[in-house]
Amino acid sequence: MLDHAPRQLDLFIDTTSVTLVNGIISALKKKDSAQTRQLLKRLWDADPGNHQAGDLELLACAVERLHLPVEDVPFELGYLEQTLVPLASDKLSADSRDFLAPFWQRLLHALQDKAYDPEHPKLHASYPAIQLEAWNLVQQSIESEAEWSREPQLLRRYARACGHLQQELIATRCWFQLCWHFPDQADTIGREAEPLWRSRWQRFMDLDPELDSKDFPAWSLLERPGLARRLADKACMTNTEEPKDYRVTADLVMAGTAAVPAVDLIQQRRSLKDLNPKLFEHYLDRFGRQLTGPVYDS
């Protein structure tokens, strides 16, 4: 006769462990340290070799430290990103974001008065604010920095915040400035901008002939002519920051069906061709070669 007792004991331990692990996870989600500790002790007693116990212990310790002030900001950021975020994602799944929110809030508070340092771009209040998706706070923390638009990281973060707050024209201005002043980072538009702009960036990357990243703003006006008029009406751009080929492209696009003399259009087109031959080819492909000018759409 077979002895089933060991197998039955294993099944009992497995069932108990699963129940306790689920209870610990539920307590962690509620930030209930007392219940978490009580259930962890029972788990260690019932199943000392449980493969999840160590990770759950780390999460419990983190919750217990939430009320303490941040003394070493770089350490806390590294611990949060390298340990807590992956652990919470693994153990808490869809609830990880809510679990992590107080940790990002704690870091945000610690960074509230810290000036931006381009050598350590994450050590600025705008970074944890982005993780919290607190877009108004992202803007406020960046606006407190003098000449923030000269810092590509802040420019990108501000553009993202504007996109989420449906401030489309301001976001557009920021992305355009990124292309003109920091073209090596312009590809972040394809990852960080709103879906429409990410899609537009992908089309831009597939162009033939290829254009430089700094040409994305002018090409965008060809794709969406109404944008040129809206940007001009709101005075979103200044002549000092606009490249000349962008300005000429905008003028051509806005000419539309207005009674612009053919000789003026010829001169503008000649100017664009001299300034940027490849962009001029895309202009001709988009609007044709007639001299009446492109049809303006809103």
Last residue of a domain, one of 87, 110, 133: 110
Q: Is residue 12 part of a domain?
A: no
Q: Is residue 51 part of a domain?
A: yes
More confident residue, 256 or 209: 209
Q: What are phi and psi of 141, to 5 degrees?
A: -70, -35
pLDDT at res. 296: 39
Last residue of a domain, one of 77, 110, 143: 110
Cα separation, 81 vs 79, whole angstroms: 6
DSSP states of 58-96: HHHHHHHTTTSPPS-HHHHHHHIIIIIHHHHHHHHGGGH
pLDDT at res. 223: 94
Q: In percent, how much of the chain has pLDDT > 90?
A: 72
Cα separation, 196 vs 194, whole angstroms: 6
Report, as an integer, the average pLDDT of 199-227: 96
Instruction: Give 3-state DSSP helix, strand, coil % of the chain, rounded to 5.
Output: 70, 0, 30
pLDDT level of residue 234 (50, 70, 90 thresholds): confident
Q: Is residue 194 part of a domain?
A: no
Is omega for the bond preceding 195 within 30 degrees of 0, making it cis?
A: no
Last residue of a domain, one of 110, 135, 161: 110
The distance in angstroms from the start CA to the end CA of the chain is: 85
pLDDT tens, 8-30? Answer: 445 445 678 888 988 988 999 88
Report, as an integer, the average pLDDT of 119-130: 98
Q: Is residue 121 part of a domain?
A: no
pLDDT at res. 266: 86
Report, as an integer, the average pLDDT of 100-123: 97
Residue-number span of the structural domain to which 71 is assigned: 26-110
- How many structural domains does the chain have? 2
Q: Is residue 56 part of a domain?
A: yes
Average per-residue pLDDT in the chain?
A: 89
Per-residue tokens: 269 = 């087109």
Decide: 285 and 255 in contact? Cβ < 8 Å. no
